[in-house]
Amino acid sequence: MILRKTIAGQLLQLLALIIIHASCHTLTSAKTVNPGGGELQQQPQLEQQQPIQGLPEPRAYMPDSQNLDFVYHDHEELTRFLRATSARYPNLTALYSIGKSIQGRDLWVMVVSSSPYEHMIGKPDVKYVGNIHGNEPVGREMLLHLIQYFVTSYSSDQYVKWLLDNTRIHILPTMNPDGYAVSKEGTCDGGQGRYNARGFDLNRNFPDYFKQNNKRGQPETDAVKDWISKIQFVLSGSLHGGALVASYPYDNTPNSRLLKGICRSSALCAMFQTYSAAPSLTPDDDVLKHLSLVYARNHAKMSRGVACKSATPAFENGITNGAAWYPLTGGMQDYNYVWYGCMEITLEISCCKFPPAYELKKYWEDNQLSLIKFLAEAHRGVQGFVFDPAGMPIERASIKIKGRDVGFQTTKYGEFWRILLPGYYKAEVFAEGFAPREVEFVIVEQHPTLLNVTLQSSKPYLVASSVASSVTTAKTRRVNDKLQLAAD
């Protein structure tokens, strides 16, 4: 167990346990069967969606007292937990760093999967990013507990086993460890610790779709940009605090310049947004709304749309378009979606930015099911491969769903994924040196549609050449090469 080392800290933990124990008797709960066997567990009554592929729901959380407690963990403790977990579960986890913060703290990523060191061909990569604002650490702790839940439940929870057998989950618990280091527990508002060590807001530091972002790139955002350029992420969640809502792209709007010019005081900004803020909708608005609802409806409270404070807005069904809430330039979720076709949602999971540690257990109970069910949505829609006439994969083939202008590309193995709701679609597929092709397909509710596309060379004489060369390049068909995580 990772413990606070002072007597005061131990007394606080004891007080927290007393409070949590007392509050547990007031929860409205429902009996749920542990798929791994044993006694029935108590779980808060949640609004739930139908399980994917007929699997039982994830079992109720049972903490492993020898690994992780419900306290805030500084960077040294966080690192120790991740390393210990990786050593204890080498077949389910891989730990790597995508870079360092300004003050030299590693940006650790933990892969949790039944194939942690190898890309599983045809199976999607997904990610969570926490603590992009240093003074919003609830998501940081939730992601540590999610890691523990996955590794301790793999052998006993059928849903978790299915998810880890068919998905590679990358978890970055803290993107802003320097900001966290100067934040203060119990501070619900304010900006201390929000920014990185140079005073930059990391969620305003990415390239923007609507306007040029002139803010100097920071090591933390540069590391994330490099990371997502190397791995084809299909789905992503960014965890924040200060509200209770799932926010989806776009975060910015063509009118953001006007808003910036008018907003010179918080009161004026609030008034302007009340009367002028409008949704900035993506071509995949239906999908992004659906993903937001998956999180909100599986959360214990979010879908109720209750405002955190009387002066703040309430969100219908617990979701909002980002720009309709308030426009911002340089946000991470828009960058993921526009530049790499990754569906990212911003998850605001606590009204208080940095609540007392004794509340963390309740936050985990509220978010556990949502965190798991959201990732499973990567298996909704269409997936497949793009090949040349010789059956070799085509890397970086471009794909667009007709009527949806934001495209995406294949991996080096020719793979692609796209989350889509049930319906009839047409895909346009094209690659340099090949004739473009249009294919039709149908999406159903429970299972992803498998779609393989073969492109013909735009120069006929290249076909024979391609077939001949395929003999000498057959070794590229080996698809389980190492990812070289440590080198990245």
Residue 57 appears among annotated catalytic residues: no
Do residues 334 and 404 share a domain?
Answer: no
Check whether residue 344 and residue 398 sit in a common domain.
no
Q: Interior CA angle at 380 toward 374 and 384, to 5°?
A: 130
Structure tokens at 18: 């007393």
Question: Residue 349 corresponds to which tokens in the numbers above?
Answer: 């999971």
From CA 199, how far away is CA 196, in angstroms rounded? Answer: 5
For residue 300, what are its two tokens?
A: 């214990």
Q: Do 431 and 336 belong to one domain? A: no
Please, which residues bridge with residue 415 across strands? 385
Residue after which a domain boundary falls, among 319, 345, 379? 379
| Whether residue 337 is found in the same domain as residue 258 | yes
Q: Provide the number of structural domains found in the chain.
A: 2
Are both 103 and 185 inside the same structural domain? yes
Note the pLDDT of residue 447: 86
Residue at a domain's end among 379, 394, 419: 379
Is the residue at 483 inside a domain? no
pLDDT in tens, 177-202: 999 999 999 999 999 999 999 999 99
Q: Which long-range contacts (CB under 8 A, 24 or more apart) does 465-470 make?
A: 466/388, 466/389, 466/390, 466/392, 467/389, 467/390, 469/390, 470/390, 470/391, 470/392
Q: Which of 185, 324, 128, 170 is nearest to 245 (CA)?
A: 324
What range defines the domain where residue 347 resides? 7-379
Cis geometry, peptide bond prior to residue 250 (ω within 30 degrees of 0): yes
Residues 346 and 451 in one domain: no
Indicate if 368 and 457 belong to the same structural domain: no
Q: Out of 141, 344, 348, 377, which one is annotated catalytic?
A: 348
231, 340 contact by CB (below 8 A): no
Kindly state whether residues 287 and 422 are assigned to the same domain: no
Q: Within a domain: residue 154?
A: yes
What are 158's two structure tokens?
A: 């059928």
Residues 212 and 331 in one domain: yes
Residue 314, pLDDT score? 86
Residue 219 inside a domain? The answer is: yes
For residue 167, give the CATH number of its domain. Answer: 3.40.630.10
**Predicted pLDDT at 60:** 52
Residues of the chain with pLDDT under 50: 1-52, 61, 63-65, 257-276, 462-488
Cβ proximity of 84 and 148 under 8 Å: no
- Boundary-marking domain end, from 327, 362, 379: 379
Same domain, 363 and 411: no
Considering the domain architecture, whether residues 372 and 389 belong to the same structural domain is answered as: no
Statement to judge: residues 386 and 374 lie in one domain:
no
Residue 485 lies in a domain: no
Residue 254 lies in a domain: yes
CA distance 229 to 36: 39
Q: Is the pTM of this model over 0.85?
A: no
